[in-house]
Chains A and B, each alone.
Chain A
Amino acid sequence: MKITQILLRLRYSSLGRLVLALLGTVVAICVVLLVSAQSDTYIANAGAMTIAILGLSLLTGWSGQVSIGNSGFMAVGAFTTGIWANHHQSSPIIISLLLSILTGAIAGLLVGIPATRLKGPYLAGMTLAFVTAMVPFIQSLGKLTGGSGGLFFANLSSPSWFANLSGDPQNFIVANYRWAATVSVVITGVAYYFMSNLFASRAGRAMRLVRDNDVAAELMGVNLGRVRVGAFVISAAYAGLAGSLVALLSGVARADNFGLALSIEILSLLVLGGIGTLSGALMAGLLAAYASTLIAKLNALFGLNPYSNLGSNSQGIIFGLLLVVTMLTAPQGMAGLLKKISHLRARKEAE
């Protein structure tokens, strides 16, 4: 109880937020270095998912614009990274990441400007239209994007100092996994820090005002269009970064992988974690890390062959079910449940 209060207090100051993000990142790096290489691949991917979820949390939870098209922005980031990597083999990854953020943001601007005219289901439908158009569009670009086969390029490999540092210097495969997870965790920490700043700022508040009551927000001096587009741009920039990271981790950019299913997965995780709160987005990230393991275990429990029809699709069914059940029974997600529990406990203590 005390600890949660201290954590909440920390979020009110910019220094506190920095300390929180640093602490979290350091803890995560320790975990990365301790667990198995297999777990590290899950953590690395979960980092990318967390970034995408943070972006969607801002757009859907914070500014109230439901998007089921954010995987389309991830595709933009992934292909930016892929195309750049194939033309500039030796450029540092930071350049790829920054470029992907930029192209993601531009895509967000292009989608966001018309989207600000749309509300509720119209907007969600337009983002759906965007993502379903995006996949065949990328595939039709031929050589530039590798068509439906996609692009292949070098994925992250550990520098020698890291391999020496992280245990067995001979075993480069393990070192590569550890390095990929570390990079992913650090980038996620940075992304989290910036998002926590935004949530606590004037611009972040403007987004919530628009979500809660757009007429009153306008009277408070909020330019509705600008705030709505702003949320789209930032959200798409985060998605672009996430897509870039996914591409760097796997060394592949395939349009198929960024279709509607991924958007639904991000949305499911976000709703499960808790929509519109930072802690919810983080919990969603943890879920993402465990999801594949959990589903593999579930498949084993029910004796399903993971390559059978049912086994290979159980993930989609489970995510869909969780999304529906959560929304119908506990729309605030895990973060909301935890809050409720701590409120109940506080009341009990008071009595």
Chain B
Amino acid sequence: MTTSPSLPHLKLDNISIRFGGLHALSNVSFDVHSGEIVGLIGPNGAGKTTAFNVACGFISPNEGAVSYPALGQTSLKPHQLARAGIARTLQGVGLFDHMTVLENVMAGGQSRAHGGVVAGLLGLRSAARSEHSLRADALAQLDRLGISQFAAQLPSAIPYGIAKKVSVARSLVTNPSLLLLDEPASGLDENELSEFANLITQLRETMAVLLVEHNMDFVMPLVDRLVVLNFGQVIATGTPHEVRANPDVLAAYLGVDQ
């Protein structure tokens, strides 16, 4: 995959979304570059989740366009993301309940492995070999996050913090160049929060990261840039420092009349 450093990995261009009469998003534009962690914040109901779902093709906009210029892709369907090098986590953990932790992480490499239904039926060698290397990669990913001792467990049998790590390991197994994290901090304790912050900081070396988050204490020291949404509109962008000083943002969060 060729990536050119000058182009953004994710670009939302003038996106508008209407649900019935409700304007969920109006003219929202922002982008995310490689080596950058961008946080998408805003009060409840501001349109964060909608914007996020637009970014990964679950919702197609009424106006505007989503593109992934550095990856040479425009408007992908959800199942095409993984192959294009884009990974997304789900709110909560979104693991596969009836599969072990190891199988869950292997599932992350689904787009990378070989073989369709016929190859599967025949038990072709090539399919078996790619399964083998996928298993090794998944184990390596679990090792990297320090949770390989849980490999054989079912998601229901492991603590929430570990399950969150499994879901991150699952999205990393494809070596994505754009990672979309949906509320990575929710439900974690102090220790786990700082571990996660460290992990995300490391990830920046090799990919672009966009995250949606409520927990300001977690977001502020972590991100390079913030995009603040309110009532479906971008009301501020900039470094955490700039955003914190922006009176509009303060007003939006405190509910002060402008």
Q: Does B10 contact A (CB under 8 A)?
A: no
A198 with B121: CB separation less than 8 A = yes
A206 with B97: CB separation less than 8 A = no
Closest A residue to B82 using CB positions: A221
> Which of B103, B108, B114, B121 is within 8 Å of A234, CB to CB?
B121
Question: Among B78, B87, B127, which residue has the most Cβ atoms of chain A within 10 A?
Answer: B78
| 5 A–B contacts from the bound complex (CB under 8 Å) | A197-B120, A208-B98, A208-B99, A220-B110, A221-B111
Closest B residue to A194 using CB positions: B121
Q: Does B88 contact A (CB under 8 A)?
A: yes
Q: Does A295 contact B (CB under 8 A)?
A: no
Question: Among B78, B81, B123, B125, which residue has the most Cβ atoms of chain A within 10 A?
Answer: B123
A198 with B79: CB separation less than 8 A = no
Within 8 A of B (CB), among A180-197: 193-195, 197
Closest A residue to B174 using CB positions: A221
Q: What is the CA–CA distance of A200 and B115 in the complex, to the nearest angstrom?
A: 12
Chain A interface size band reads 20 to 34
> Which of B58, B81, B87, B120 is within 8 Å of A203, CB to CB?
B120
Q: A206-B110, A219-B81 are in contact. Are A198 and B117 (CB under 8 A)?
A: yes
B90 with A216: CB separation less than 8 A = yes
Q: A209-B110, A216-B95, A222-B110 are in contact. Are A201 and B90 (CB under 8 A)?
A: no
Q: A201-B131, A202-B120 are in contact. Are A212 and B82 (CB under 8 A)?
A: no
Main secondary structure of the interface of A (DSSP, over half): helix
Smallest CB–CB gap between B193 and chain A, Å? Answer: 24
Q: Does A213 contact B (CB under 8 A)?
A: yes
A221 with B81: CB separation less than 8 A = yes
Chain B interface size band reads 35 or more
Within 8 A of B (CB), among A319-340: none
Q: A219-B78, A219-B81, A221-B82 are in contact. Are A205 and B110 (CB under 8 A)?
A: yes
Kindly list chain A residues whose C-beta atoms are within 8 Å of the C-beta of B125: 14
B70-93 CB contact bits vs A (8 Å, 1 = yes)? 000000001111110001101000
Q: What is the CA–CA distance of A216 and B90 in the complex, to the nearest angstrom?
A: 7
Q: A14-B128, A203-B116, A212-B97 are in contact. Are A221 and B90 (CB under 8 A)?
A: no
A203 with B119: CB separation less than 8 A = yes
Q: Does B172 contact A (CB under 8 A)?
A: no
B123 with A197: CB separation less than 8 A = yes
Q: Does A93 contact B (CB under 8 A)?
A: no
B121 with A197: CB separation less than 8 A = yes
A218 with B78: CB separation less than 8 A = yes
B81 with A202: CB separation less than 8 A = no
Q: Does A26 contact B (CB under 8 A)?
A: no
B96 with A198: CB separation less than 8 A = no
B98 with A212: CB separation less than 8 A = yes
Q: What is the CA–CA distance of A195 and B88 in the complex, to the nearest angstrom?
A: 32
Q: Does A204 contact B (CB under 8 A)?
A: yes
Kindly list chain A residues whose C-beta atoms are within 8 Å of the C-beta of B116: 203, 230
A205 with B115: CB separation less than 8 A = no
Kindly list chain B residues whose C-beta atoms are within 8 Å of the C-beta of A217: 96, 107, 110
Kindly list chain B residues whose C-beta atoms are within 8 Å of the C-beta of A203: 115-117, 119-120
Kindly list chain B residues whose C-beta atoms are within 8 Å of the C-beta of A208: 96, 98-99
Q: How many pairs of A and B residues are in contact by the CB < 8 Å rule?
A: 104
Smallest CB–CB gap between B93 and chain A, Å? Answer: 9
Smallest CB–CB gap between B258 and chain A, Å? Answer: 37
Kindly list chain B residues whose C-beta atoms are within 8 Å of the C-beta of A218: 78-79
Residues of A within 8 A of B (CB): 13-14, 17-18, 193-195, 197-198, 200-206, 208-209, 211-213, 215-224, 230, 233-234
Q: A208-B99, A216-B96, A221-B83 are in contact. Are A194 and B78 (CB under 8 A)?
A: no
Kindly list chain B residues whose C-beta atoms are within 8 Å of the C-beta of A233: 117
Q: What is the CA–CA distance of A234 and B118 in the complex, to the nearest angstrom?
A: 9
A219 with B123: CB separation less than 8 A = no
Q: What is the CA–CA distance of A14 and B82 in the complex, to the nearest angstrom?
A: 28
Q: Does B56 contact A (CB under 8 A)?
A: yes
Q: A202-B127, A220-B108, A221-B83 are in contact. Are A209 and B122 (CB under 8 A)?
A: no
B117 with A230: CB separation less than 8 A = yes
B130 with A205: CB separation less than 8 A = no
Smallest CB–CB gap between A213 and chain B, Å? Answer: 6
B119 with A201: CB separation less than 8 A = yes
B110 with A216: CB separation less than 8 A = no
B96 with A213: CB separation less than 8 A = yes
Closest B residue to A225 using CB positions: B79
Q: Does B38 contact A (CB under 8 A)?
A: no
Q: What is the CA–CA distance of A237 and B103 in the complex, to the nearest angstrom?
A: 28
> Which of B56, B83, B94, B110 is within 8 Å of A202, CB to CB?
B110
Kindly list chain A residues whose C-beta atoms are within 8 Å of the C-beta of B98: 208, 211-212
Q: Does B163 contact A (CB under 8 A)?
A: no
A221 with B106: CB separation less than 8 A = no
Kindly list chain A residues whose C-beta atoms are within 8 Å of the C-beta of B111: 220-221
Question: Among A14, A202, A222, which residue has the most Cβ atoms of chain B within 10 A?
Answer: A202
Smallest CB–CB gap between A113 and chain B, Å? Answer: 15
Question: Among B114, B121, B130, which residue has the most Cβ atoms of chain A within 10 A?
Answer: B121
Closest A residue to B180 using CB positions: A219
